[in-house]
Amino acid sequence: MIKQLLITLTLLATMSGAVAQEAYNEAIRMAKAVADDTSRTLEERKIATFKKDALYYLGSQSYKLTPDSSASMLDYQALALFQFINLFQGRLAMSKPKDRPTIINMFKSISLAHPRFHDPNKEYVLAYITNEGYVTKFSLDTDWVAAYNDIKRRMSGK
Q: Tell me the pLDDT tens digit for each residue of 81-139.
A: 999 999 999 999 999 999 999 999 999 999 999 999 999 999 999 999 999 999 999 99
Distance CA 156, CA 150 (A): 10
Question: Mean pLDDT across the stretch 144-152?
Answer: 98
Residue 45 and residue 17 in contact, taking contact as beta carbons nearer than 8 Å:
no
List, as own/partner pairs, every contact residues 16-23 make where C-beta atoms lie below 8 angstroms and the sequence separation is at least 24, other chains included: 16/79, 18/75, 20/71, 20/72, 20/75, 21/71, 21/72, 21/74, 21/75, 22/75, 23/74, 23/75, 23/78, 23/79
pLDDT at 16 over 50: no
What percent of the chain stands above pLDDT 90? 75
Query: What pLDDT is recorded for position 63?
Result: 85
pLDDT at 51 over 80: yes
Count other C-beta atoms under 10 Å from residue 119's C-beta: 16
What percent of the chain stands above pLDDT 70? 84
pLDDT at 155 over 70: yes
pLDDT at 68 over 90: no
Split at pLDDT 50, 70, 90, the class of 69 is low
